[in-house]
A and B are shown apart, each in its own frame.
Chain A
Amino acid sequence: KSKTRKKQYCRTCDSFQHGDENCPTIWRSYLTKRSANNDNESCVLPVICCYNCGSSLHYGDECPEQRSSRVPNLGSAFSGNNLPKKLR
């Protein structure tokens, strides 16, 4: 099993978790507003609720507590990486 793993490499993510053809960026691609990428614009503060522990301080992907769901997390929408740059 580990052998087939090693063959996978994604150039977009520089990761061995998946291959180029199974890269989540293929579907997780957002059409964002132009102003959102502009750091001079005033940003709206995010509503944060952690899907794992319920905290309002971090998103579920960054939760320090033990994961409750038994389905593995491959990286999801609910991550600080999805915030505008200046709010991260």
Chain B
Amino acid sequence: PSSTLYPWVRNHDHCKQKEIADWLTLEMKDLVNYISPSSEEIITRNRVINTLKKQISIFWPGTEAHVFGSCATDLYLPGSDIDMVVISNTGDYENRSRLYQLSSFLRAKNLAKNVEVIASAKVPIIKFVDPDSNLHIDISFERKNGLDAARRIRRWLSSTPGLRELVLVVKQFLRSRKLNNVHVGGLGGYATIIMCYHFLHSHPKLSTNSMDPSDNLGVLLIEFFELYGRNFSYDNLIISLNPETEEPRYLLKDKNSALNTARNTFSIVIQDPADPTNNISRSSYNLRDLKKAFGGAYQLLVAKCYQLNVAPYKDRLGQSILGDIIKFKGKER
């Protein structure tokens, strides 16, 4: 029964590992493999993206459509939305009439169903569903910051071993707690990535190059939850990276009032690496639940480690350490 709840464990039993930390590391790698896109999914996504890019440039010569967000960094979970942005030579495509023009075109060409035009939002977008794949797509206009962020994240992924695994597991955790939606105060993808990057580069064992993160993913996951669920001072500190070196640092909220716009002192502030006055996690107002979730994940993981560490072989067989904090819903992969 556990294998259907924790499908990543199936045929990947690590219960004979002597060190419980190694078991967890191996299980994290299995989970990452399990939630990573299949070649079929990658082909489908690429087809949807390329068709849209091509059709939009035909419809509006002088524009180009790009992907950004998790789809551009390959940090997407199964079924995640595709984020696209239309950039024009003239730079004036973010307006009501353009949004409606494009939405009618996509509908007429049978490239979109369930189309919604959200013209009055701070970031106006068109939302729709691809009729063949049922993938959800958001298109925004003339905003390059998402493309810059994607470029930065791709650079970080290649320079920071372990980052991809940690981000994907934390994202899946937040998703299964429904805490990944910024529209209801959850933590966004970019904020999650910066927290993971900051954590990995400030860890005493990693910043001194004393260990290989890929060998220690299990203990690093628990320590990530330990830092942000138990110890970090959300009241006083801002999560920041030095703009020149990208070295992790914390800034004082007191001394950086421009960033600290929240009324509540208990709020998460993450400085935008590209704009020092911008707080990436401005919309993550539900810090109370976020911190509780991180702290709870720490406790559940640690308790499971203690329990399995003394359990006899027959009780360890087929068990999952991550199963208490991550539920995987959706069709079998």
Contact = CB atoms under 8 A, between A and B. Distances in A.
B205 interface: yes
At the interface, is chain B mostly helix, strand, loop or mixed?
helix
A53 B229 CA distance: 16
B9 interface: no
A77 B226 contact: yes
A22 B310 CA distance: 10
Interface in B208-263: 208-212, 215-216, 218-219, 222-223, 226-227, 229-237, 247-252
B211 A71 contact: no
Interface centre among A44, A51, A59 (most CB of B within 10 A): A51
A76 B233 contact: no
B205 A82 contact: yes
B251 A27 contact: no
Contacts of B218: 27
Interface string A53-87: 11010011000000011011110111110111001
B208 A29 contact: no
B3 interface: no
Contacts of B81: none
Contacts of B302: 24, 27
Size range of the interface on B? 35 or more
Contacts of A73: 230-231
Interface stretch (B51-59, B144-152, B196-204): B196-204
A21 interface: yes
Contacts of A32: 205, 210-211
B231 A30 contact: no
A44 B252 CA distance: 27
Contacts of A52: 231, 233, 236
Contact of A78 (B19, B201, B204): B204
A72 B295 CA distance: 11
A29 B295 CA distance: 20
Interface stretch (B20-28, B83-91, B165-173, B182-190): B20-28
A29 B21 contact: yes
Contact of B212 (A33, A50, A69, A79): A33
B2 interface: no
B236 to A, nearest CB: 6
Interface residues of A, number: 42
Interface centre among B205, B218, B234, B235 (most CB of A within 10 A): B205
Interface string A36-51: 1000000111111111
B236 A31 contact: no
A79 B21 CA distance: 19
Contacts of B248: 47, 49
Contacts of A84: 208, 210
B250 A49 contact: yes
A36 B210 contact: yes
30 contacts: A24-B302, A27-B20, A27-B21, A27-B24, A27-B218, A28-B21, A30-B219, A31-B216, A33-B210, A33-B211, A33-B212, A36-B210, A44-B207, A48-B202, A51-B227, A51-B232, A54-B237, A54-B252, A56-B249, A68-B235, A69-B230, A71-B230, A71-B231, A71-B295, A76-B223, A77-B204, A78-B202, A78-B203, A84-B208, A84-B210
Interface of B: 19-22, 24, 201-205, 207-212, 215-216, 218-219, 222-223, 226-227, 229-237, 247-252, 295, 301-302, 305-306, 309-310
Closest 5 CB pairs between A and B? A36-B210, A68-B233, A82-B204, A54-B250, A77-B223
